Structure 1
Amino acid sequence: MTTTANVTTETSPGFSPLQAASRDHLWMHFSRMAPLQERPARVIDHAEGVYLYDDKGQKILDGLSGLFVVQAGHGREELAAAAAEQAKKLAFFPNWGMTTEPVIRLAERLAHEAPGTLNRVFFTSGGGEAVESAWKVAKQYFKLTGKPMKHKVISRMSAYHGTTQGALAITGLPAMKQAFEPLTPGGFRAANTDFYRAPEHGDDPVAFGLWAANRIEEAILQEGPDTVAAVVLEPVQNSGGCFTPPPGYFQRVREICDTYDVLLVSDEVICAFGRHGTTFACEKFGYEPDIITCAKGMSSGYGPIGAMIANERVMAPFLEGKNFFPHGYTFGGHPVSAAISLVNLDIFEREGLNQRVLDNEGALGSTLGKLLDLPIVGDVRGDGYFWGIELVKDKASKQTFDAAEREFLIKQYLPDALMDNGLYCRPDDRVNPVIQVAPPLISGQAEFDEMEQILRKTLEDVSALL
């Protein structure tokens, strides 16, 4: 037993003192806590490049960039130095009516990188706050422009957009919302772009894309165009395992939004900053939104930061008279995180990380595609450095696993087995069972091969058990 002030930690067999402290005091995110009372949590001690090292010394390939975050890789001394330098000069000042130089410089840089007239940058602490801000600004925008009934949001089935009450209402995952009902009213759903499970469209992705986009129009008409403020879509949908946009999909969505005077929000919390080979993924997929939400890769995870970037149309009424946006966060536009992000974007330019992704995305996809020879692998899909591997019980029929099998496969077996075999990635069954892979942008063929080999061994092992 160890005691500090009024806190007592009970040591027990199999737990190091640090693991015991974690068990007794740390409430982890998105984690079942009961098993962690009996089984020690793995502690990641340090990282370098594309590798993590736990406190037992095991070397683990980071196949998820932390959480779609560490674009430039781990252990970047110049990013740590940027944080220290800014902290020494000015560690904190709020972004309320006054501001700081790194925040101004970062806003200017993001505006330069964003398409069209998306010139106005509202900083947040992270991605969920950016989505929350986008919905709030959309509602107020229409109130200020004489359309006060426009307040609803259309998003896609099974999409994830954050955990705050507003962002959760935009999220399309019922199981994630049930514990927190009633949520902010106004969130409605349309079809996603899961082409793997769209047999009625055969092998025609263009027809499927048009069908999926038209479901958004259908939702707007169902709710009434005079009540819908925004459509919120990820360029590549995360939840469900990397649903990519079919050709022409976003162009049709843009047309629909223009027809009914609805703001198009590109939720790029995961997809921005090189994940798909461009600073903002909307550029790659050929559409210009009214608002971009982003976070994660902006600082490569070396400091918490997010942003909502709006175009001049959205900003215009807020520049009139006494109008203002009554919304903000203490740490939104933190000077240390902004300073880190500026240096991170310098690394992107100097090392050509966006182009590196474009040059290597085909190799990553084809390497992971080798797994399709396994009976348990039904589909491998993705774009850039963001890929999903869908697991199936029967490949011919695309039959998925039942609840007990999913529990064993995704919750009990794969997370530990993959880590024990030397790979950190993401088994996920919020929709159908998938493994998500999103390596740091500095990764290349050697890392792709290592991921494929570890995935192959782990999936062969679990197939034998199933």
Structure 2
Amino acid sequence: MNATRAAERHLLLNMTANGSLGEGGKELFVVTRGDGPYVYDSGGTRYIDGMSGLYCAQLGYGYAGEIAEAAERQLRELCYSPLWTASAHPAALELARRLAGLAPDGMEHTFFSSGGAEAVETAWKIVRRYHVLRGEPGRTKALARRGAYHGLTLGALSFTDHPELKEPYGPPAVPTTFVANTNRALLPEPLDDAAFTAHLLADAEAAILGAGPENVAMFIAEPVQNRGGCIPPPAGYWEGLRRLADRYGFLLVADEVITGFGRLGEWFGGDRYGARPDLITLAKGITAGYAPMGATMVSARVAEVLNRPGEVLNHGYTFSGHPLCAAIALRALDIMERDRVLDNVRAHQEHLAKRMIALGALPIVADVRGAGYFYAVELAGDREGGAFSEAARAALIHDLIPRRLREAGLLARVYDRAAPLVQIAPPLIAEADLLDRIADIIAATLDEASHRLISLER
């Protein structure tokens, strides 16, 4: 049985029209192995992994031997032990210590989970527990940003601004107000950083006052918003959020599931923008994709309330801080430090920025955004305001662009939800020659798409 037939019969894929696989529909793309910054499909064709899997494979695929050595040692010593009812194990203790050493000042405690959505769900429960213990049980509402994605569990889905994802599951578990995100392209006229930051903070403050400050429990945001296309903040934005949190008493959560562990050239992407959150959610790059793991970091100020004598944190996961995953995360951190992987991003990020920004000269490109090794190209269509006609959307975004990128040997994300985008997040080991190859492939593809767009207009 071939792979497509096997999936059709037995496997439910994530975020996929599973019923469209098979005869008369899509064939399954099967990745069989990786090597350095490349992956290979079942036919042996090599591709640049321009998305680090799904923002996970910070180190690419060249460290399997070292990771396997750490994993084998851990499995021989201890294959499983829960972090449950005053019980722990050395790998989780050491990983929590290491994370505290890398995190912003005051971020000293970690609750482990199995992935990003669980980390966000944990953040919400910790936020709620904190407010209840402080005598403010009425703080039951959240703020998030328009177009944001924070996960697909029912709690995390509350903070995800995507009706198609939410509506099939009924009303959100957490009442959430969505405020303006930091996408300058949505402004009616250009603003400098100071004016834009003031506009964004005024919008957030109005939402806080509208919800009732005494009812707001948290504000969650990514340092650079992924959905909508790698949207960075203006100067002063995160400092302004900190002031609002302190003024109105809610907790500030930085969702670093994608931006953590070097994606923006820092261990924590928020450090690039002056973020000082109360909680940080992590996953993906924490193990460089070699094992599933998530984490929620909590400031000493919040933990002091949670850890009052006799108070119980009634929250947990069977595989929280699994010994194998923790050991793999520790080895991944060792490798990143030893091989100066963050220095590699810092050394080449300006080169990548120049190559990506140059794509803005193409007729089909509306905007280029991003930071570090995290960029998106927003596309402009054949209708007023840059919208795409259905014919152009079907021909270019759903067919030509993804097909040509893959034919040229690049796996990138061609996205058509919050905005029509081509997005890249290459492994952090990528150097200038590989970054040039990525940019060249995108440029050639979008140049062809620009010519096709012109012909469609006629």
TM-score by length of 1: 0.93
Read off the aligned partner of 1:409 and give its amino acid letter. L
2:420 pairs with 1:433: yes
2 CA distance for matches of 1:452 and 1:347? Answer: 27
The two structures, once aligned, show a CA RMSD in angstroms of 1.6
Q: 1:249 deviation in Å? A: 0.8
Indicate the residue corresponding to 1:14 in structure 2.
Answer: none
Deviations 1:55-82 (A, max 9, x none): 1111100111111111111131211221
Contact 1:118 1:312 in 2 (8 A): yes
Identity %: 40
1 CA distance for matches of 2:6 and 2:17? Answer: 17
What is the DSSP-based 3-state SS (H/G/I as helix, E as strand, rest coil) of the residue aligned with 1:177?
Answer: helix
2:48 pairs with 1:40: no
2:11 pairs with 1:26: yes
Indicate the residue corresponding to 1:4 in structure 2.
Answer: none
The farther-off stretch of 170-179 and 48-57 is: 170-179
Indicate the residue corresponding to 1:414 in structure 2.
Answer: 401
Q: 1:300 deviation in Å? A: 0.3
Q: 1:457 deviation in Å? A: 2.4
2:49 pairs with 1:49: no
2:241 pairs with 1:253: yes
Contact 1:138 1:151 in 2 (8 A): no
2:196 pairs with 1:208: yes
Question: How many residues get paired?
Answer: 449
Read off the aligned partner of 2:165 and give its amino acid letter. M
Indicate the residue corresponding to 2:456 in structure 1.
Answer: none
Map of 1:131-210 to 2, 5 A cutoff?
Answer: 131-200=120-189, 202-210=190-198
2:358 pairs with 1:382: no
2:434 pairs with 1:460: no
2 CA distance for matches of 1:405 and 1:327? Answer: 49
Indicate the residue corresponding to 1:283 in structure 2.
Answer: 271
Indicate the residue corresponding to 2:45 in structure 1.
Answer: 58
Read off the aligned partner of 2:242 and give its amino acid letter. R
The farther-off stretch of 143-152 and 399-408 is: 399-408
Deviations 1:128-181 (A, max 9, x none): 100011011111110110111012110000000000001000111222211111
Query: Which of the residues 52, 76, 81 maps onto 2:69?
Result: 81
Contact 1:131 1:308 in 2 (8 A): yes
2 CA distance for matches of 1:296 and 1:325? Answer: 25
Q: 1:297 deviation in Å? A: 0.4
What is the DSSP-based 3-state SS (H/G/I as helix, E as strand, rest coil) of the residue aligned with 1:279?
Answer: coil
Deviations 1:110-145 (A, max 9, x none): 011111211110001000100011011111110110
Contact 2:360 2:366 in 1 (8 A): yes
What is the DSSP-based 3-state SS (H/G/I as helix, E as strand, rest coil) of the residue aligned with 1:34?
Answer: helix
Query: Which of the residues 327, 333, 338 maps onto 1:339?
Result: 327
Deviations 1:296-353 (A, max 9, x none): 0010000100100001121112222321111111111011111011111111111111
What is the DSSP-based 3-state SS (H/G/I as helix, E as strand, rest coil) of the residue aligned with 2:60?
Answer: coil
Indicate the residue corresponding to 2:108 in structure 1.
Answer: 119
Contact 1:235 1:271 in 2 (8 A): yes
Indicate the residue corresponding to 2:410 in structure 1.
Answer: 423
Indicate the residue corresponding to 2:90 in structure 1.
Answer: 101
Which structure 2 residue ranges, 5 or more long, are not aligned? 454-458
* Structure 1 pair 104–404 and aligned structure 2 pair: CA distance change class (3 A): farther
Read off the aligned partner of 2:201 and give its amino acid letter. A
Indicate the residue corresponding to 1:351 in structure 2.
Answer: 339
1 CA distance for matches of 2:53 and 2:268? Answer: 20
Contact 1:378 1:398 in 2 (8 A): no
What is the DSSP-based 3-state SS (H/G/I as helix, E as strand, rest coil) of the residue aligned with 2:22?
Answer: helix
